[in-house]
Structure 1
Amino acid sequence: MGFRTYLWDRRRSWLLALGLLAVLLVVLLLFRLPVLAVGYGALLCGVIYLGAGIWDFVQWSRRHHRLQNLEQEVLSTLDNLPPPGSSLEEDYQRLLVSLFRAKAAQSAESSSRFQNMTDYYTLWAHQIKTPIAAMDLILQTQELPESGSLKQSLFQIQQYVEMVLCYLRLDSETTDFVIRACPLDPIIRTALREFAPSFIHKGLQLHYTPVSCSVLTDEKWLLFVLEQLLSNAVKYTPHGSVTVCLREPQTLVIQDTGLGIAPEDLPRVFERGYTGKLGRVDQRSTGIGLYLCRRTLSQLGHTISIQSTPGKGTAVSIHLQRRDLPLE
């Protein structure tokens, strides 16, 4: 890159100069012209041509480096483009401006559509909470034989609504992350209280040893992740137990004795929309929960991993060690 590129770009001019020189030599030989007079004129023309070539190379090099520096800036603005050096460059710049304006208009339209969709679903998610709360109140005041099952179904609806809100927030331009030192035990207990009726309804045992450590995280978003993982543990554990424990160094593990995950599904469980074999059996699976967990934890500076054996259960590990992020 540099002088070789310049020679290649100007190859027609150099070839033309060499061709003219060859013609001059042929005429010199055919007509037996005085070598000194013709040679002096040729040398003078050569010096002028070489000087023009050096000047052209300097100008070309400056424009080339300037355009290279604008490679990233041109994605956002065309104001700093160098002035065109020819009518052909001017035509190219007009085409570039037209494409830039069309892209900007398309991007603005897409952004507007996404914002409208986000506003609509956010409004829907908040409005649906009113009838959910009303149904929950009715079920609490009227004890029916089906109350237990209805409460569990209503609780699942609440979880899906929270999932929608989380999905919208993660895709928005701004988030409400508040990173600070949070005691881990209250976060875990809050999630376990939410799912206590589910454990009782399915007859599952819960094993939890209180922890006494703090982690740098966002309390609300980590709670959302725990709720998603507990939801999966309860959903795919027909009988047995769920264990929540803390392992060193700062690894929170949620382990169940449920159906487990097939080995061929494990590498893809965090992909958006991927449900695997269990999802094809359980038509209610969306393939969004673990995807949101990984995205959320990634933005919090944490990581997540899964080990599973079909028929024996699954262990999900949240690695709470985190990369450096701005604190509150």
Structure 2
Amino acid sequence: MIKAFLIERRSWIAAFLLQQILILLIAFVDPSIPFENVLYIVYLCVMIFVVFVIIRFRKETAFYKSLEEWENNLDVTAISEPETPFEELIEKSITGQTEQLKQSALRNGLALENEKDELMAWIHEVKTPLTALHLIIDRMEEPSLKSQLSYEWLRIHLLLDQQLHQKRMSFIENDLSLEMIKLKPLIIKEIRDLQSWCIQKGIGFDIQLEAEEVLSDAKWLSFIIRQLLTNAVKYSEAADIVINSYEIDERKVLEVKDFGRGIDRKDVSRIFDKGFTSTTDHHNQSSTGMGLYLAKRAAKPLLIDIDVHSELGAGTTFTLTFPKRNQFEHVISM
């Protein structure tokens, strides 16, 4: 701030110093003017000027320091009161622009909220004919056509489900309801929803649950497991998917292991990135790259750690590590 102040006032300082040099030069050239007396006067003027600069520095920079330290959170109360006409102009401009930004942010927020509500309402409306369509497909007798339509219906259902949970993600902390959840019924339900797809691909499930219950939110845990199972089924062919749970160091662990094509080592660290699909499979246009990203985001407020281990051509294992019960204290208190 000192450097900035001196640069700002460099023209004044230069003008003062030139004046003092000029006075000394005149006294030096003109023998009738006592040079020592003029030198003394110049010295006093310089001292007075230094004190003046220090006072003005402390007085003028208080306002600008508050601007420098001001966090741009649309709160102008942290800015010091202006003491000069120029500071008043700056403060007035900032206040006006801040008010405009607040109004703009409010309008954009309301528009975004309305758009989100409309989209969620649309998704719920679409689910009604989608359910009716599923009932019609169940009554079909042609096995091949029925299988194809069931698969396409499932794709639509899963995409709508992702979109619905993506919109709910912004207020997930207010949507949590923690309880002891039995894993087996939850997993069986998710597998049953994927049944037609699994039959089409010849995929079975091997479920071994030593840890039968976990403390979590049933709705969001179902969503996370759904994304992992969908990912496992998508990249597997004619093989079992192994689901097991156990407890280690007072933490419950759930593993979903497939024997599909696996993930390239260079892609492992990126699979939870938004929109990332794969660098090895360029023919799969159905993948949105959102499932694992949303699963990771949903796991964070639930204090669930998601890890992945994979070998290309050998399969992939996703591991959900649940928190200790006492780690949920700050979540429960919200």
Same fold, TM-score > 0.5, yes or no: yes
Change in Cα spacing, 1:11 to 1:179, as seen in structure 2 (3 Å) is farther
1:156 & 1:185 partners in 2: Cα distance? 24
2:68 & 2:182 partners in 1: Cα distance? 50
2:180·2:215 contact (CA, 8 Å) conserved in 1?
A: yes
SS at match of 2:79: coil
Shift of 1:63: 3.0
So what's the TM-score if we normalise by structure 1? 0.84
Measured against aligned partners, the alpha-carbon deviations of 1:266-300 in whole angstroms (never above 9, x if no partner) come to 33222222222565322221111111111111232
Q: Does the alignment pair 1:125 with 2:123?
A: yes
Q: Does the alignment pair 1:57 with 2:62?
A: no
SS at match of 1:58: helix
Task: Point out the more displaced range, 126-135 or 163-172.
Answer: 163-172
Equivalences for 1:114-153 in 2 at 5 Å?
A: 114-141=112-139, 143-145=141-143, 146-153=145-152
Shift of 1:254: 0.7
1:279 & 1:178 partners in 2: Cα distance? 38
- RMSD of aligned C-alpha atoms? 3.0
Residue aligning to 1:30: 29
Residue aligning to 1:327: 332
Aligned residues: 325
Q: Which runs of 5+ in 1 are unaligned?
A: none
2:140 & 2:172 partners in 1: Cα distance? 44
Change in Cα spacing, 1:61 to 1:256, as seen in structure 2 (3 Å) is same
1:256·1:313 contact (CA, 8 Å) conserved in 2?
A: yes
Task: Point out the more displaced range, 227-236 or 169-178.
Answer: 169-178
Residue aligning to 2:9: 10
Residue aligning to 1:169: 168
Measured against aligned partners, the alpha-carbon deviations of 1:35-81 in whole angstroms (never above 9, x if no partner) come to 56545544553444333223213213533443344x21x42222443
What is the letter of the counterpart of residue 77 of structure 1? D
So what's the TM-score if we normalise by structure 2? 0.83
Shift of 1:256: 1.0
Task: Point out the more displaced range, 286-295 or 296-305.
Answer: 296-305
What is the letter of the counterpart of residue 110 of structure 2? S
Task: Point out the more displaced range, 295-304 or 195-204.
Answer: 195-204
Residue aligning to 2:109: 111
**Pairing partner for 2:286 from 273, 277, 284:** 284
% identical equivalent positions? 25
Q: Which runs of 5+ in 2 are unaligned?
A: none
Shift of 1:148: 4.0
Equivalences for 1:1-328 in 2 at 5 Å?
A: 3-32=2-31, 33-35=33-35, 37-39=37-39, 41-69=41-69, 71-72=70-71, 74-141=72-139, 143-145=141-143, 146-171=145-170, 175-247=174-246, 249=248, 250-277=252-279, 280-321=282-323, 325-327=330-332
Task: Point out the more displaced range, 280-289 or 234-243.
Answer: 280-289
Shift of 1:246: 2.2
Change in Cα spacing, 1:278 to 1:179, as seen in structure 2 (3 Å) is farther
2:24·2:35 contact (CA, 8 Å) conserved in 1?
A: no
1:184·1:211 contact (CA, 8 Å) conserved in 2?
A: no
Change in Cα spacing, 1:182 to 1:64, as seen in structure 2 (3 Å) is farther
